[in-house]
Every structure is written in structure tokens, then in C-alpha cells.
Chain A
């Protein structure tokens, strides 16, 4: 048997999730103390345990919400459906929320999916790329006429989420081991980013979520004011957007600013 054939058989046996009947066993010897099924089983068992551990580490609140049995069922379904195609194990768990959204057994559980999305954002934010935050006084370099054309770059750890109402409260209760709140109707908007080397988050009002989403998409300050006003006339004045912008700077979310279309933007 060639090395390629042996590796294909070995992997198929591990992915099948049980050592009995694996064709690779034809190539494996019994040891003095253990039969070959037991010895190959070390790899089979370790595979599932290791992948479940990855999920447990990255989705502790989801585990608390679902309970041990349901979380294990979810982990089993995910592991069976999605073998890792990432070289670095860090990224294996990233697709869990997407899997839940597409899976018949989970797609109706918005509370669980949104909690998974929130936990993934905390993980992604934690080790996102570094960037220097821009100080607010850097804006003094721009002439007032340039303001409508200002576009901003944001810290790579910034992630915006629209979640079922109560998702962050559920997360807080879960990580503190407290009783989980009852599900609530509606939506909540959240910004997740990294501050002082840890993931942090803050609730956003709908107008701030809209404005920050537009800014993150590369829209200029003037466009954001117009689009926000169009969608929500009551609150989105240029003064309100400017106030929000100041807050983003103070929280270290802004990493660059430039005039749209100019070199170095």
C-alpha cells in the first residue's frame, strides 16, 4: 500500500468516528498488550474529544444556554458535517454559527444562533490584527470643507452585530453562572472590539448602529449624515453623527481618516 493510500484510509477511519471495521486496521499490528482496534481507537477518540474541546472553549455561553446534552448533539453534528479545512486549529470553530443557520435542527433557534454569533465575535475580536488608534485631534488637520468627504478606517477588531434582544444579557449570565434571562422579543445592536488586549462590547442605539455600519462600509461622513437622516429623520442630525464620531474616536475604534478619493485615504 502506498503512503497516500494508507493516509487516506487512516483519515477515513478517524472521520467515520468509530474504529470498528476501519479498513486501515488491515495495516495495523496488535501490540503485546493491546489489540489494534484499541490502538487505532486512540486516534478516533482523540479526534472527537479534541474538536469538542475547541467548541467548548469558544462557545461557553452557548453551552450554558443549551445544556450539556444539546451542546454535545450540536458539536457532534458540526464535527460530522464540517471536518476542518484550516491548517490552524484556531479557525475550526468559526463556522459554527453559519452551520447552525443552515442546519434544519438549529435554524429555527435564533436565540442560540445569535449567542453563537456574539461569542464568535468576541473570539475574533480578541486576536484580530493590531492597529494604532487615531486620536481625535488628528481631525484638526482637515479643512471644514473636507468634512463631508471624510472616510474612516476602523480598528480590525471592530465587529457590528444585530442580534435578538437579550443576547448579551444571556451571555453575561452564562459566563457568570447566573440564571439565564427569559428570551425577549425584538433586536439589539452591539459593537464588539478589543480594548486593553481583551474583547469588549457595547450596546448601540439603532441610529448609531446604522451610522457605524455605513462608516465601516467606507461611506463618507456627509453621506452617512444624509443616509442616516433619510432612514431615521428624528435623530440623525449632523450634530448627532458628529457626537457619535467623537465617541468612536474616544473608544479607540478609529484607526485612520482621510478625504475620499485622495491619495492615502
Chain B
């Protein structure tokens, strides 16, 4: 399978940074948008996106496809998403291995599933139908989760690997989510990374989280922590150059701080690449 060319090091496009991005043209390789924020009509969100899009590649990341829900797929939502993708021409479109609600209700959260054969059949079929509708391959992200279900029959990483094979989809590997879920469920994050098929991963997410002692919560309101940087280095070594971005959704710092975090990711990647070349030469 051919992976799309890496876009480099990006950031989430958030309204608080619109003016700065447009006026200073910061050294960011690409931006990721939250799709739903631009599925509203028009006005400032659409206008700002058009301006940013003129200068940077864009990736669309959704939170509402509810791929794992047992409700019917929301065709109206998919139609709107497809229309947005036709306007934005993103490098790819992603959403989560999660559900947001059932019985016509949305909890507006990324909810966990049991990793069962039934879930796998269900989600794979829905990913395929969504891909058919959108006319493009979907990129599916591992979500942060806080509960482990007794019903699970396999690990999250085996579920994801098999999902990509069955649905022929790609993966957005959220490195922070692996750390958060690993802590919450007591698995080794390295095992997760090492089990994911290399050829399926097209994007990394990086973010900060909150450590509550007994469990960690994926809050996106903190700088990226050392555990996540360390796992990122392992991921980069395994998956090679993969488009990487930082999600920051609250407690917004000055934009320069995000650029500094991005610079650190570039350094980690460059170091891993250089060491890889040295070991190849040896």
C-alpha cells in the first residue's frame, strides 16, 4: 500500500490563532482542522480557513462520524462532510475508532468499545460504507479510553491492525492516546506501537494530558509530556517519516510555545533519521 507523502510538522487550526497565522505566516508545514467546526454555514470560520488553505496543506479531522455506533450511519452528516472535503481538498479525512451516542442522541464524546469480533465486524463494515460514500480512504484514529470492558476478546492494537486489513483504511496514530490508554489500562505503550502495521500509519497526533494519579485524562490543555515525546521517538523509528501534528484545544499558550514544541518534534525526528542512516551505513 502506498502511503501519502508526509506533510511534515503541523498544528491544529484553532480560532484563537487565526489572526496570528494569517498575519505572520508561521513556519508550520500544514494545519489540521476539526471538520465539524467548518460544517456550519459561512462567516469567519469559513473565511479564515480559505485564507489559511491558500498557504498551507490542510487535513480534515472529524469527531462526529460515530464509526462504532450501533445507530445507522448518519448519511446527512456524511453528505455534509463530503461537501466540505470537496471545498477544502484535504490531504486526507480522519475520524475516530469510537462512538458518540445511540438512539439518535449524541453525547459529543469519543466513547469506548469492547474489542470483540462483533465490534470488529460492525466497525469494519461501517468504515467501508463511509469510505464508499466519501469516495476516499478513511484515516481512523485510536481514541483515549478510560474503561476496559469484560467483553473484550482482543487487544486494542490487534483490533486496529485487523480493522485496517479488513476495511482497507489507514491509521492516525495518536501517540498521546497510546500513553493515556496504556496508563489507564495497564498495557505497555511500546507493545501497542510495535504491533501496528507500518504501512497503514499516515499521521501522528501529539498532545498533552492530565495526570489524575489513578488515571490520566486526554485533555489537550497541557504541553506534550516527556512520556509522549519518548514514545514519539519510538514511533518515528518504527513508522518512518509520518505527518505529525500537535493538538491543543484549551488553556491556549502563546503560539510560539506550540512552535517550540513542534521544533522539538523536528529534532527528535531528525535525530532518529540520522541514527537510522548511521546504523544502515554500519
- Interface residues, chain A, with chain B CB atoms under 8 Å away: 1-4, 6-8, 10-11, 14-15, 26-29, 31-34, 36, 38-40, 42-43, 46-47, 50-51, 83-90, 92, 126-131, 156-157, 194, 197-198
Q: Which of B114-152 contact A (CB under 8 A)?
A: 114, 116, 118-119, 122, 146-151
- Whether B271 sits at the interface, judged by CB under 8 Å, is no
- Whether B41 sits at the interface, judged by CB under 8 Å, is yes
Contact check, B42 vs A130: say whether CB atoms are below 8 A apart: yes
25 sample A-B contacts, Cβ–Cβ < 8 Å, listed by A number: A2-B118, A3-B114, A3-B118, A4-B70, A4-B102, A14-B109, A27-B149, A28-B150, A39-B146, A39-B184, A42-B146, A42-B215, A43-B111, A43-B146, A47-B109, A84-B101, A84-B105, A86-B106, A88-B36, A90-B39, A126-B44, A127-B40, A129-B41, A130-B43, A156-B42
Whether A39 contacts B215 in the complex (CB less than 8 A), given A32-B186, A84-B106, comes out as: yes
Q: Contacting A3 at CB < 8 Å: which of B122, B147, B186?
A: B122
Number of A-B contacts defined by CB within 8 Å: 144
- Whether B260 sits at the interface, judged by CB under 8 Å, is no
Query: Whole-angstrom distance between the alpha carbons of A127 and B44 in the complex?
Result: 7
Q: Which of B174-218 contact A (CB under 8 A)?
A: 184-186, 213-215, 217
Contact check, A27 vs B150: say whether CB atoms are below 8 A apart: yes
Query: Whole-angstrom distance between the alpha carbons of A129 and B41 in the complex?
Result: 4
Question: Knowing that A39-B146, A43-B107 are A-B contacts, what are 15 other residue pairs whose CB atoms are under 8 Å apart, sorted by A's residue number?
Answer: A3-B119, A3-B122, A6-B149, A27-B151, A29-B148, A38-B214, A42-B217, A43-B109, A83-B106, A86-B106, A88-B64, A90-B36, A127-B45, A130-B43, A198-B44
Contact check, B107 vs A84: say whether CB atoms are below 8 A apart: yes
Query: Whole-angstrom distance between the alpha carbons of A10 and B101 in the complex?
Result: 9
Residue among A36, A38, A85, A87 facing the most chain B CB atoms (10 A cut-off): A87
Closest chain B CB from A250 CB (angstroms): 20
**Chain B 85-107 interface mask (CB, 8 Å, partner A; 1/0):** 00000000000000101111111
Query: Whole-angstrom distance between the alpha carbons of A50 and B218 in the complex?
Result: 14
Chief secondary structure at chain B's binding surface: loop
Closest chain B CB from A115 CB (angstroms): 22
Query: Whole-angstrom distance between the alpha carbons of A126 and B40 in the complex?
Result: 10
Question: Which residues on A sit within 8 Å (CB–CB) of B42?
Answer: 127-131, 156
Question: Which residues on A sit within 8 Å (CB–CB) of B155?
Answer: none
Query: Whole-angstrom distance between the alpha carbons of A88 and B106 in the complex?
Result: 9
Chain B, interface residues (CB within 8 Å), range: 35 or more
Closest chain A CB from B166 CB (angstroms): 16
Query: Whole-angstrom distance between the alpha carbons of A90 and B111 in the complex?
Result: 19
Question: Which residues on B sit within 8 Å (CB–CB) of A34?
Answer: 184, 214-215
Q: Contacting A50 at CB < 8 Å: which of B46, B104, B109?
A: B109
Contact check, A39 vs B147: say whether CB atoms are below 8 A apart: yes
Question: Which residues on A sit within 8 Å (CB–CB) of B186?
Answer: 31-32
Contact check, A27 vs B36: say whether CB atoms are below 8 A apart: no
**Chain B 240-273 interface mask (CB, 8 Å, partner A; 1/0):** 0000000000000000000000000000000000
Query: Whole-angstrom distance between the alpha carbons of A69 and B81 in the complex?
Result: 39
Question: Which residues on A sit within 8 Å (CB–CB) of B17?
Answer: none
Closest chain A CB from B153 CB (angstroms): 12
Closest 10 CB pairs of A and B: A130-B42, A34-B214, A4-B70, A197-B44, A129-B41, A127-B40, A42-B146, A33-B214, A127-B43, A89-B108
